Amino acid sequence: MPVSRLSGAALAAFMLLSIPACSNDPGPTLSAPDAYAQVQAGKLTLIDVRTADEWRKTGVPQGALRINMANAQGEAGFIQQVEAALGGDKHQPVALIGLAGNRSANAQNVLRESGFTHVYTIKEGMLGSSAGPGWIARRLPVESCPRC
């Protein structure tokens, strides 16, 4: 009898430890060139989730909306701004870009948990990461943002 209790406890512990891994499931990604091509084709809305200071320093990807992830109203404010930018359509494809992929991945999780169904992240970001050289190094179009 003690062995079966131990097996049951081990199984329960395994299941509980597996839950966070499932919730941290990385969402779909796009390379910077793929995202740019889809934006140009009108198939995707690109959102730059960085801060105004970062937008001023590097510019913003051409065609991207600027919605700072660090919203004054927190995650709820960020979600509301994205939803408004998409006309309330949580099924519209959207790609998120940050500096090097971490912030956009976090924003992707927040939006997916809020019911958005087609959210991609550009893991290489503006400056590059292990996922790729980045928007700027790939010489993709950038719009200056001196008054962001």
The domain ranges of the chain are 27-143
Q: Is the pLDDT of residue 15 over 90?
A: no
pLDDT at 49: 97
- Residue 119 identity: V
pLDDT: is 139 or 3 the higher one?
A: 139
pLDDT: is 109 or 14 the higher one?
A: 109
Within 10 angstroms of residue 102's Cβ, the number of other Cβ atoms is 13
Query: 65: which strand partners?
Result: 47
pTM of the model: 0.81
Distance CA(122)–CA(23), nearest Å, equals 20
pLDDT at 101: 80
131 CB-near residues (< 8 Å, 6+ apart): 29, 31, 101, 123, 124
Tens digit of each residue's pLDDT (9 = 90 or more) over 79-105: 999 999 999 999 999 999 999 988 999
Classify domain 27-143 by CATH number.
Answer: 3.40.250.10
Q: Is the pLDDT of residue 16 over 60?
A: no
Within 10 angstroms of residue 94's Cβ, the number of other Cβ atoms is 24
pLDDT at 144: 95
pLDDT band at 46 (very low <50, low <70, confident <90, very high): very high
Within 10 angstroms of residue 119's Cβ, the number of other Cβ atoms is 23
